[in-house]
Structure 1
């Protein structure tokens, strides 16, 4: 039987009391700092660092993940005012539209072909006119990984833009780039990883 997204991510987060650093994604910080706070949707929020950072800067945040475990963990350390919702984004999507929709490293080894693209198209439809869609993605495995643990296709920025099928009269691509950042490997070795950044604004 194929493992579901909820089963996979529940197991992932139940292995440790904390998985991530607790700090917001620096690429999100770079792109969102200049935006005027409004309503924000954080897709795949994990332990909530991005949602908390946004809320502390005046955003009204709806944070979404498939894992009940990680949502409880995030809510326990978060300030009041964040709405936490559990969704398997391949099956359901938060209602409403938002000034900012953020999809940070929305990768899953158990996603069906085309599932991520469908989710990101739904994300684009959740952006209000004048709002912003931020998509940060890994562009490949870390430099120290010689044999990947599983097969995974990391789409390039142009591939992602094309898969969104956005109306060019209604959207503008504000940022489209690949950033290489230093990372320390599991044995303390210096390394790096490339990430892609897409910032798209819905005109209006």
Structure 2
């Protein structure tokens, strides 16, 4: 990302009002899908409303964004809520920071799209881990370089079990889970048939 892009995001976050903890958009009304706890990664976290919401639910959270101004706002929100989040300044055009190694029980990314990161999102998920994505979409909207084409999210994660996938009104969401490997099973193989009764 060019320095001018970082400056643009810093300027935008500098004038934004105080945020409030909130679940990821794709999880609203589906909070029962949230893992019971563990480690979480919030990619392109902005002002940290999702990261702080997750930390308040007991997750150990790594939150990544290009804007130091946004992360400072997130740190202030976390302090006000008396929770801890590990904040990482990173240009996502260069990939995820080395400190974010996983495995994570939850990976969240909303309002940021870079298909080059999709394999890393899947790779960083723990067994049974949940991926929550929301991106701009061409569906019911105009095409553009920051918008996913029809079916992009569903096709990008063939190794995960898709729980929900929606595309409408210029947005696409995906909730998908990494399969848990049965002891003794070969990863990637189909599940064993049930025992006869």
| Structure 2 residue 7 is the aligned partner of structure 1 residue 7 | yes
Counterpart pick for 2:91 among 69, 88, 92: 88
CA 1:24/1:18 → structure 2, altered by over 3 Å: closer, same or farther? farther
Alignment of 1:80-159 (within 5 A): 80-93=83-96, 94-107=100-113, 116-139=114-137, 151-156=144-149, 158-159=151-152
Provide the aligned length of Structure 1 versus Structure 2. 172
TM-score (norm 2): 0.73
Who wins on radius of gyration, i.e. which is larger? 2
Deviations, residues 57-109 of structure 1 (Å, cap 9, x unaligned): 121111111111110111011133211111111214122220010011114xx
Structure 2: gaps spanning 5 or more residues: 181-197
Question: Does residue 202 in structure 1 map to residue 162 in structure 2?
Answer: no
Q: CA deviation at 1:10?
A: 2.0
CA 1:201/1:22 → structure 2, altered by over 3 Å: closer, same or farther? closer
* TM-score normalised according to structure 1 size: 0.71
Q: Give the superposed CA RMSD.
A: 2.8
1:139 and 1:19 map into 2 onto residues whose CA distance is 28
Q: Tell me the secondary structure at the aligned position of residue 29 of structure 2.
A: helix
Gap runs ≥5 in structure 1: 108-115, 180-192
